[in-house]
Amino acid sequence: MSTMPLLDIRNLHVQFDVFGGRLRVLDGVNLAVRAGEKVGLVGETGAGKTTTMKAVLRVLPQPPARIPEGEIFFEGQDVLKLSHRKIMNVRGQGISMIFQDPTAALNPVFSIGAQMGAVIRHSLPDNQRLSKRDLRERSVIPLKEVALADPERLLDSFPLQLSGGMRQRVCIAMALATSPKLLIADEPGTSLDVTIEDQVLRLLHDLVEKRNTAVVLITHSLGVVRETTDRVAVMYAGNIVEEAPTAKLFASPLHPYTQGLMAAVPKLTGGGVSDGIPGRMPTYLNPPTGCRFHPRCPHVMDICKSEKPPHYQVGDGHRVACFLHEGHAATGENVTTQAGGEVENL
């Protein structure tokens, strides 16, 4: 596809200045999302998935965060360089986000109608004002789309009167009310029961199909990603270590971390539980040199300890950041070596 990506994160570095030093969290993240695509961002706690997306929306408070390097292009514009006014327009109309805990995302003292109304009002062009009745009419529509019963009455209800699943659906409704081009869903099903999560994810799937909205789904659950995405990027300790079309990733995971992660998930068909991956995710204060996964990698080689692996293209849309696949062409990403040396462009 030669179309320009909707979202193009290039060589993103994010650091945090904290008591005790500098956390070097994101270490050169590259990710592109095309219009209408559903991309999964998978990783464990602390991998940097939410940080990446917060950088896109520019909601990382700087300080203590700082972005020393990198660009984030949304519809061709570098989001990191936009004025405050312009970024406000991007948020909500260009990019919407739904969060892990719908209870925390909704203000408990305002009615659903008030919160939905606020979202809609914000999305109107500056000179347009809506009457109360018009606003109310417009607010009902998104609620209907997420299959909430009795949406009129819902407008006057308060978040705490609803169940968790309903709240998450309200959040989805609010996020899609402005028909954004990109939706970022941060662990949308984690705080919900499995049957409700299933419902919510399928609803989300239907809605984005209809509107051709691109989605970045952040999750730690491989099962969820398999069922709901076209492409998956696996993150570990601030880097994307592997990226592939979903079916391909599950059929042949190449990065040792991806393999370890998949092996660690208990199978519904039984067969026992693997011991998982020994060790734990490194601290960002003093991350390991070279490949950040090397202390835990069962296939570690000498080069892994001193040099950061570039991404190698191993197939159609399948890239992996691992020296085990050095034979393949490097994509030219992630090329800042530890010593800040020369860039190898192939």
Partner 1 sequence: MSDLLEVKDLKKYFVIGHRDSLGREPITVKAVDSISFTVQEGETLGLVGESGSGKSTTAYTIVGMYQPTLGHANARGQDLFANGKARPKSLRKEIQIVFQDPGSSLNPRQTIKQILELPLRLHRPEVDRLTETVRLLELVDLPPDYMYKYPYMLSGGEKQIIAVARALATEPSLIILDEPTSALDVSVQGKIINLLLRLQREFNLAYLFITHDLSLMRNVAHRVAIMYLGKICEVADMEEFFKDPRHPYTQMLLSSIPVTSEEEEQAKPVKVVSTGEIPSPVDVPPGCSFHTRCPYVMDICKQVDPEMTQFTTGHMARCHLFTEGEQPETIGQS
CB atoms inside a 10 Å sphere around CB 238 = 28
User: Among the candidate windows 9-17, 171-179, 221-229, 330-338, which touches partner 1 by CB under 8 A?
Assistant: 221-229
Question: Does position 240 bind partner 1 by CB under 8 A?
Answer: no
Q: Does 166 bind partner 1 (CB under 8 A)?
A: yes
Asked if residue 130 lies in contact with residue 124, where contact means CB atoms within 8 angstroms, the answer is: yes
Cβ atoms of 283 and 297 closer than 8 Å: no
Residue 223 as a binder of partner 1 (CB under 8 A): the answer is: yes
Please give the structure tokens belonging to residue 299: 């296939």
The 10 Å Cβ neighbour count of residue 159 is 21
Q: What are phi and psi of 130, to 5 degrees?
A: -110, 145
- Applying CB under 8 A, does 1 fall inside the site for partner 1? no
Total binding residues toward partner 1, as defined by CB under 8 A: 41
If we measure between CA atoms, which residue out of 264, 265, 262, 257 comes closest to residue 235?
257
Q: What is the smallest separation between the CB atom of 235 and partner 1, expressed in angstroms?
A: 13
Nearest to partner 1 of 18, 273 (CB atom): 273
Residue 248 interacts with partner 1 (CB under 8 A)?
Answer: no
Which residues make Cβ contacts (< 8 Å) with residue 121, sequence separation at least 6? Answer: 130, 135
CB of 201 to partner 1, least distance (A): 8
Q: Which is nearer to partner 1, 114 or 263 (CB)?
A: 263
292 within 8 A of 31, measured Cβ to Cβ: no
| Residues facing residue 217 across a β-bridge | 40, 185
194 binds partner 1 (CB under 8 A): yes
Q: Is 277 an interacting residue with respect to partner 1 (CB under 8 A)? A: yes
Binding of residue 298 to partner 1 (CB under 8 A): no
Q: Which residues bind partner 1 (CB under 8 A)?
A: 44-45, 149, 163-166, 193-199, 220-224, 226-227, 250, 260-262, 264-278, 280
